[in-house]
Every structure is written in C-alpha cells, then in structure tokens.
Structure 1
Amino acid sequence: MSQIVTVHSYRGGTGKSSTAANLALLLASAGRRVALVDTDIHTPALHVLFPGAPAHRSLTDYLIGRCEIEDAAAPADTGQGHDGFFLVPARTRTGAGNELMGRGYDVGLLREGFDRLIDTLALDVLLLDTHAGFNNETVTAMAGADSLIVLTRADRLDLAGAQETVSLARRLGCGRLSLAVNMVPDGTLPDRLRTDLETAYDAPLTAVLPYAPQMAALAGERLLTTAYPHHPLVAGYRRIIGAISRGTTGLRR
C-alpha cells in the first residue's frame, strides 16, 4: 500500500531538504519505489542535491498547465543505479516561481498531482519536501500526509512554532507525527530539552540526529548516505524510516 510522507520544519536552516533526500535514497536502496517531490517553489533545493536528474519539467510547470505531473518526474541520478526512484523538482527555470505567483494556480492540482504520481509510477512512497513555515504548498503537503516528519534543531528558538505546527497538523487530520532533532552537537540531547520538545510537539522523539561536519564538507555534491553509509547520522535516518514503517508514533489525542 502506498504512503505519503511529508517532511516539514517551522523554521529554515534545520537540514530539512538534505534529510528528505537521504530518507528517499535509503527507501530506494531498500527496494521501495519512491518519488521525491520538492514542493518548496520559493527556495527549492533538491535539484541541487540530485544534479544529474534530467529535469526538463517541474512541479511549477505542472501547476501552470505546461505539462502533466508525470512528465515532471525524472529518474533520480544517485550514481548507484536505483530503479524506481524519481525526482520532481520544484522548478527548472529562472523566474518560474514569480510566474506562478503572478498567474496563480488551482491548489487542488497539488493533491491531484500527488495521487497521479502514486498511480502512474506505482509508488510505495511519495516523499514531499516542504517550504519552512506554512504556505499553500506546505499545507497541502501536510494535509495529505500519512506520516508527517517534523524536523527541528536542538535550539529553544525552534520551539516557538511547535504549538502552531501541532495545532495545524490536527486541524488538517495529518497521519502519524514523527519528531526528529537535527544538528545536535555531541549527538546527545539533555533530558530537560528532550522533555521540553516532546511536550511542545505533543509527540515522542523519534530520532536525535548528530551534527555531521562531513555533511558540510560534501557541500551538496554527494549525499551523506552514499558517502558515509555507516555514519551515526545515517543510523538516525534509518530510525525515522523504522518509525514510519511501524506506525508507532502519532499525535496524541
């Protein structure tokens, strides 16, 4: 049965897009048919992390009627020959984002496009990367999620949007909520901060993701999962995938 997984953060700079990319690669490596969609039309990133993908069309092209959504899905070039791994970039042309905002679009096309990707590509997982905070694309991606991964940092400033995130997720009827803390300096989290995070997000903490200087050194040229498959950060990604698969986390009612 196919699953829609949305990766979200209330603030920017959490490593959300790199996390989404690495999760998608791990799922594909496990034999799942996966499409990774960049719904962050304003500040897209996934096309940089998969520069070899033959992206002639994009999510923006679909939304303004230039192509069908399946035309925007191209095999993701991972260098490892994963069949059944697709990338839908947010946009491929300079100024396309401004054009979309100027012309507007039917928000309903987003969910229709997600469903068509699942059917047309026979997907096991549709993984959606979002814009930080909330806009039309992000809300739609959250509303359709079977699993919502909320990424935050080990920083009390990131707690500011916790209540708003959880409140919106409940109103939208999101599926399971997984909370992950990224860029933890020594790989551990003080008990008090762990408790504060779980209380603020009203959900158990799925993974503590250590700060990885190797990630910065790669400069987006390779994914950490490929370059350092046994890194503790990759183990954290696997814990997130395990929680999604087991369905043991969720919004408390």
Structure 2
Amino acid sequence: MSAVNRAAVEAVLRQYTDPYLNQDPVSAGCVRAIEIQGDQVSVRMELGYAAGLFKSGWAQMLQMAIEGLDGVRSAKVDIQCVIAPHKAQAQIPGLANVKNVVAVASGKGGVGKSTTAANLALALAREGARVGILDADIYGPSQGVMFGIAEGTRPKIKDQKWFVPIESLGVEVMSMAFLTDDNTPMVWRGPMVSGALLQLVTQTAWGDLDYLVIDMPPGTGDIQLTLAQKVPVAGAVIVTTPQDLALLDAKKGVEMFRKVNIPVLGVVENMAVHICSNCGHAEHLFGEGGGEKLATQYGVELLASLPLAMVIREQADGGKPTVAAEPDGQIAMVYQELARHVGARIVLQEAASPAMPTITVSDD
C-alpha cells in the first residue's frame, strides 16, 4: 500500500464540482487544510455562502472519494459556512452589522416579488445564515402580513434613535407598515418616500446579519434609484413572469441596476407553469421560457423557475410562506436552491471584480 500525499488528495477533490460555485473546491479556494497522518486524511473546508442543508451531503461525497484513494483507510471532511462581507458600490458606506445586502426587484407589480423575497429570506435562514428583511415597498408593504406579524405591531425604539426590527420565523423584519395604519394609503410624493425609506434603512438596529434582503418597490423610478445609490447592495435578483409584457419591464430593471453598478445575480421566473390539481395537466398560462431568454440575453443565471400554485399564495397570505409552512416540500426545495445560488453568486461576483493595482516606489 503506497503512502498518500497532499497532491493526491487535491487531485481527487479537483474531480468534483461545487454545483453552486461551478468550480472544484480546490480551484474555488474552499480548502483550508489537508492533514495526513499515516493512512488517515482530514480535510477542512469553508464555503463562502450559506449552505447548511447542502454541506453534509457534499462532505460525505468528498469523504468517500478520498477514501477510494490507494493508501487511505479513513477520511474526514469538515465543511463550515463562513459568510464574509462583500464589496458593494464604491463610495457608499456599509450598513452597521450587515454583511451583504440583496435587493429583490421587479420591473412591474404582480409578478410575485414580495413572495420571492420572503421565501428567499427564510431559505437563507434555514441554510444557517442570520437574516433580516426590509420591506422597502412603501406604497404596498406586505412583509408584515407574510411573516404573520399582527396588525398594529410597532417596533421598539432603542436609545431614542433606532428602530428595533421585529423577529418572526427566525428572520428580523422591518417595514413601513409597522409605523403606519394598514388602512391609510401613503399619499406621498417621491422625495418624501425616498427620505422615509433611507431613514428606515439607516436607523434600524439590525443584529449581526449575514444577509439583509430588501423587498424593493416595483418599477425603476426615483425611489428605486435612490435606494440603489444610497444603500450598499451586493447584488440584485430580478423577479419576472414568462409573459412578454413582464419581461419588457424586467429588462428595464436589469438595465437600471447595471447603470448604478450593482451586479445582477440572476433572474427568478415566477408562475412558469400551472399544474391542474384535478387532472395533472401542465399548462404555461403566461408563456414559456421567458425567464431563460431574459437570463441568456443579459448573460446572467436563471436562478429558479417556480410554478403558478395556489398553495404559495395561501401560505403567504396566512403568515407562513412556503419555506416555513412546508420546509420539506418540493416548492420549498426550489427556494432553498435559490438561496444557495444567490449566496454563491455574491461570492463569485466578488472573485470576478478587478483587484486594485499595486503601487511600488523605486529609487530608479
């Protein structure tokens, strides 16, 4: 039996591709240590994205591969998720206690943006991350309802300056709805809304968050631009339906984020297909393949494709979105995949950003 060495272990690891980083763990820089003691191998790895439900299966697969090496009797692979703060737009100060801000946006209303934002936040939390959600849809705030927070609930005030977010379903939640009457419309002009929104963002006492999901208002007006230019967004997720009209507006959303130098992490296609609950017939009510076309056109990833299902709407309206209501269900698993892809795309965006040039001074 030949002795095993580090090069042989790395060669085995290079044969397996992380499905979210699209690289092998060695090339992705995930391997932190390889220890070899005789015929026993120990590997320590770190993932830069939340993957609590994925890492044990990934570790087991790599462990079995290493144990297949000649000279290895047993192997141990330990994988931890370590979420680092990632760079946002230049010259925009970061938010206190928040590592990564993810904007969930749409070109128009009615495409399921808020439902996607809520389930994304819950899915990130299930993967082991510390998560908050900010309901920035001033005119139509809905996250309070989705998270089952009773009408009339008000946030506590800390040091006469900070709003303390309300915790529900393991996520910190803040919304303009907590500061106003549910039956009173926000009859405000754009500058007033922008000012109120920035106050909400900067004066909320978030805990130590790995991710803050912002449920953006629909459209591409001054409110969206203000938020994009004043809040350190690590990346944006665009929500659309396959319908041609929705795709037209979604394209404007992609272009808006590009103009303010915010990376578009990918596209979520909602209401992609309807499965009849009686006969099981599948029908594309709003068209087919629209999200994929949009993603291809702009060179971004189609992060998830979700069905038009009554249960998604019922669970959100009932104050317990799908990820919380049926965590092991098929639809919840799609949201978990979405969460892991979003986290991994932020890591990849950071890796792809150009490094600052090194300046050297010589006596020549």
Structure 1: which 5+ residue stretches go unaligned? 62-66
Aligned CA distance change for structure 1 residues 196 and 108 (closer, same or farther; 3 Å): same
Rg comparison, structure with higher value: 2
1:182 is aligned, of 270, 275, 283, to 270
**Structure that is richer in helix per residue:** 1
**Structure that is richer in strand per residue:** 2
CA contact (8 A) 1:27 1:34 kept: yes
Between the aligned partners of 1:194 and 1:104, the Cα distance in structure 2 is 34
Structure 2: which 5+ residue stretches go unaligned? 1-84, 86-98, 276-281, 353-364
2:137 is aligned, of 40, 44, 55, to 40
> Residue 134 in 1 paired to residue 220 in 2?
yes
Between the aligned partners of 2:139 and 2:165, the Cα distance in structure 1 is 19
Counterpart of 2:107? Answer: 10
Q: Deviations over 1:26-83 (max 9, x none)?
A: 222333221110001111111111233684149xx9xxxxx63x4151212x2xxx3x
Counterpart of 1:64? Answer: none
Compute the RMSD of aligned alpha carbons: 3.4
> Residue 240 in 1 paired to residue 338 in 2?
yes
Aligned CA distance change for structure 1 residues 184 and 163 (closer, same or farther; 3 Å): closer
Counterpart of 2:233? Answer: 145
Aligned CA distance change for structure 1 residues 55 and 147 (closer, same or farther; 3 Å): farther
Identity of aligned residues (%): 24
Counterpart of 2:166? Answer: 74
Pairs aligned (count): 235
TM-score, normalised by the number of residues in structure 1: 0.77
SS at match of 1:48: helix
TM-score, normalised by the number of residues in structure 2: 0.56
Q: Which has the higher contact order (CA 8 A, sep 6+)?
A: 1
Once the two structures are TM-superposed, the CA of residue 108 in structure 1 deviates from its matched residue by 9.5
Counterpart of 2:88? Answer: none
Once the two structures are TM-superposed, the CA of residue 207 in structure 1 deviates from its matched residue by 1.2
Counterpart of 2:300? Answer: 203
Aligned CA distance change for structure 1 residues 15 and 56 (closer, same or farther; 3 Å): same
Once the two structures are TM-superposed, the CA of residue 142 in structure 1 deviates from its matched residue by 3.6
161-170 or 136-145, which moves further after superposition?
A: 136-145
